[in-house]
């Protein structure tokens, strides 16, 4: 699940997102003992912030979309539905809406259909690309050829509450939370599976050893304990508050600006992932998140 609540995802960007997510999700203690024919599955149970300096150029990172091919099955635009009940039927989860919310009026509810994205490594293509960039310190081993990374993305329910009284959202914050108002998102946890002749340690070593990955970011990723259920969320330094929290006793992550410019809370409950975002203070966001019924 991305923080940007209404992105237009291009193929190359999605390929990179899948690979980077796997880079930080698939490192398991004792992974060498796991069979290599089918390595599965990751489910989101916890979010953790990974800070990065937005002033540092990322142009030196390899374009991971050039490491293979990406196939996307049924990536659709969100479509409006008439009620939370209809959204529940389509998404396969009981849709919860906030009881404590200042904006008046019902929300616009949108449902994005499920999708599957599969990235297949092509070692020859990756090496050709790296050679064209003059990169000699990093290579893709032969055993990666034909290995696949598959992300299964369940239906996503988005409830958007308009709030014309909210302050204008600055461009940087808008990237995080979308337009002014309040947005509530929920879905079953996405899952990620890996097949081929590579181990989880192989994937971790390859993707975290990419040239251009800042040392501090790499250190944060390597410090994550439970890689089977922890999803790292990139957070620009200087954005404001970023800390792990609890929403009704469930693990979550708060990213917010206490001036009220905006923020987001991400958390999980069982196998469902939730997010609340808007041009509100951290306390307001907590109140909204805790009132989902």
- Phi, psi torsion values for 292, nearest 5 degrees: -60, 130
Residue 76 predicted with pLDDT over 70: yes
Q: DSSP secondary-structure letter at 67? A: G
pTM score, whole prediction: 0.79
Structural domain count, the chain: 1
Residue at 93 is within a domain: yes
Residue at 174 is within a domain: yes
Residue at 4 is within a domain: no
Residue at 3 is within a domain: no
Distance in angstroms (rounded) separating the CA atoms of residues 60 and 211: 7
> How does residue 2 score in pLDDT terms, banded at 50, 70 and 90?
very low
For 154, other C-beta atoms within 10 Å of its C-beta total 20
Distance in angstroms (rounded) separating the CA atoms of residues 286 and 87: 24
Distance in angstroms (rounded) separating the CA atoms of residues 41 and 208: 20
Per DSSP (E only), the strands in the chain are 38-43, 46-52, 68-73, 79-81, 108-112, 115-121, 148-153, 156-161, 182-188, 191-195, 230-236, 241-247, 250-257, 262-269, 272-278
Q: Are 112 and 77 in contact (CB under 8 A)?
A: yes
Range of the domain at 185: 11-290
Convert the pLDDT of each residue in 119-173 to its tens digit. 999 999 999 999 999 999 999 999 999 999 888 889 999 999 886 555 555 444 4
Residue at 39 is within a domain: yes
Range picked from 49-63, 140-154, 192-206 for highest mean pLDDT: 140-154
First to last CA, the chain: 21
Convert the pLDDT of each residue in 224-265 to its tens digit. 877 778 888 888 887 777 889 999 999 999 988 756 678 899
Residue at 5 is within a domain: no
Segment among 47-61, 88-102, 268-282 with least mean pLDDT: 47-61
Residue at 1 is within a domain: no
Residue at 116 is within a domain: yes
């Amino acid at each position: 699940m991305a923080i940007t609540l209404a992105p237009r995802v291009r193929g190359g960007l999605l390929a990179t997102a899948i690979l980077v997510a796997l880079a930080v999700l698939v490192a398991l203690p004792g992974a060498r003992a796991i069979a290599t024919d089918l390595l599965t599955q990751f489910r989101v149970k916890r979010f953790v912030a990974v800070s990065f300096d937005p002033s540092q150029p990322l142009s030196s990172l390899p374009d991971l979309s050039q490491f293979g091919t990406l196939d996307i099955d049924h990536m659709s635009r969100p479509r409006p539905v008439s009620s939370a009940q209809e959204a529940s039927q389509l998404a396969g989860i009981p849709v919860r809406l906030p009881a404590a919310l200042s904006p008046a009026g019902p929300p616009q509810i949108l449902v994005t259909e499920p999708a599957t994205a599969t990235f297949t490594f092509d070692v020859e293509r990756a090496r050709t690309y790296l050679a064209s960039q003059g990169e000699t310190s990093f290579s893709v081993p032969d055993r990666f050829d034909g290995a696949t990374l598959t992300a299964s993305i369940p239906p996503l329910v988005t409830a958007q509450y308009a709030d014309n009284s909210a302050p204008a959202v600055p461009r940087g914050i808008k990237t995080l939370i979308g337009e002014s108002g309040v947005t509530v998102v929920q879905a079953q946890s996405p899952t990620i599976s890996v097949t081929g002749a590579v181990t989880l340690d192989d994937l971790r070593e390859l993707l975290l050893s990419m040239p251009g990955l800042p040392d501090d970011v790499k250190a944060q990723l390597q410090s994550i304990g439970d890689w089977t259920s922890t999803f790292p969320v990139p957070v620009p330094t200087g954005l404001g508050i970023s800390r792990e929290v609890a929403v009704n006793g469930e693990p979550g992550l708060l990213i917010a600006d206490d001036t009220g410019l905006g923020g987001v809370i991400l958390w999980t409950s069982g196998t469902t992932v939730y997010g609340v975002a808007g041009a509100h203070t951290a306390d307001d966001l907590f109140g909204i998140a805790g009132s989902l019924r």
